[in-house]
Amino acid sequence: TVSLRELAQSRGIAFGSAVSAASLAGDASYARTLGSEFGVVTPEDAMKWAVLRPARDTFRWGDADAIVDAAVANGQGVRGHTLVWHSSLPAWLTGGSFTTTELRDVLKEHVQTTVRRYAGRVKFWDVANEVLNNDGSPRAGFWLERLGEEYIADVFRWAHEADPAAVLYLNEYGAETHGPKADALYALVRSLKEQGVPIHGVGLQAHLTGSSRPDQLPALLRRFTGLDVDVAVTELDVRIPVPVTPAGLASQAEVYRQVTAACLAVARCVSITVWGFTDRRSWIGATYPGWGAATLFDDDLATKPAYRSVADVL
């Protein structure tokens, strides 16, 4: 059968997955399926501060390098994830005593060292992640509190300086339907563009459930492209109640189908990335009690109905 990777390529988009460094290193069939089915990968955790920065003066590149090296060897693209986020920050940073100037320097150094290291290999970056609340206000967190809203524009500028060829995204969740968050995200991107900030794409995460009805997604994606940016679905998963039932799997397949069709329907939707491809390695079980089985392949790497529905629409 033809892989999702090839099917997507023939439609002019990329189909990708998040990848766990531990599974890639220790689970041969996981690595094989990742390599054959997906055209682009996003390190699930390996490029987050908590992993990359054990100390102020240390970068721990091992996991990220392993993922990027494997992707390059496989002819896959890479989405870097993520340079600035309120979560997954090391204690030396959040508990440290830095002046504003020092903190800006720490952030700039982190962004530029990381982006420069992977220049030419990591083509896309989720530069800033989850910067808004559901009501559309700026999301509270370390960077906002310490540096003010300007940190977002700064991080884009620093990343662009470090690799002018990188395609820089603002990534957000819960903006897949019309409402205050999607509106605020639109306003933020417009304002960044007006200020001349180098932002090239908007990523919608799309952590959905079997009851989600993403029928507004084509219009939402198209609205962003009106700001002259690319769009991408960056973290798609569709959780269902466990234990799994045939009806649950069918509802899930329908949501995957709709999201895939939505991206295909929008000229500047360049990729769909799933947040894990097998139920044996997914963040959902630990994060949403009572929910699970959110991915395209089951625990044994057999394809699920959702896989079929994605392949059919691609």
Give the active site residues: 130, 235
User: Residue 288 interacts with ligand XIL (CB under 6 A)?
Assistant: no
Give the shortest CB-268-to-ligand XIL separation in angstroms: 21
279 belongs to the binding site for ligand XIL (CB under 6 A): no
The pattern of x and - marking residues 210 through 249 that bind ligand XIL according to CB under 6 A reads -------------------------x--------------
Contacts of 58 (CB under 8 A, 6+ apart): none
Give the number of other CB atoms < 10 A from CB of residue 34. Answer: 25
- Lay out the site mask for ligand XIL across 28-47 (x = CB under 6 A, - = otherwise): ----------------xx--
Q: What is the DSSP string of 151-195?
A: HHHHHHHHHHHH-TTSEEEEEESS-SSSSHHHHHHHHHHHHHHHT
Nearest approach, Cβ of 44 to ligand XIL (angstroms)?
A: 5
Residue 27 backbone dihedrals phi, psi, to 5 degrees: -135, 100
Amino acid (one-letter) located at 227? L
Minimum separation from the CB atom of position 101 to ligand XIL (A): 29
Which pairing describes strands 124-129 and 77-84: parallel, antiparallel, or unpaired? parallel
Q: At 277, is the secondary structure helix, strand, or coil?
A: coil
Rg (CA), the chain: 19
d(CA 199, CA 156): 7
**Binders of ligand XIL in range 53-112 (CB under 6 A):** none
Residue 129 or 309: the one with the smaller Cβ distance to ligand XIL is 129
Minimum distance between the CB of residue 46 and ligand XIL, rounded to whole angstroms?
10
Q: Output the smallest distance, CB 16 to ligand XIL, in A.
A: 14
Q: How far apart are CA 85 and CA 119, in angstroms?
A: 21
Looking at the Cβ atoms of 207 and 223, the one nearer to ligand XIL is: 207
Residue number, 71 or 311, with CB nearest to ligand XIL: 71
Q: Which residue is nearest to ligand XIL (CB)?
A: 283
Q: Does residue 129 interact with ligand XIL by CB under 6 A?
A: yes
Q: Which of 25, 34, 14 is nearest to 65 (CA)?
A: 25
Residues near ligand XIL, by CB under 6 A: 44-45, 129, 173, 205, 235, 283
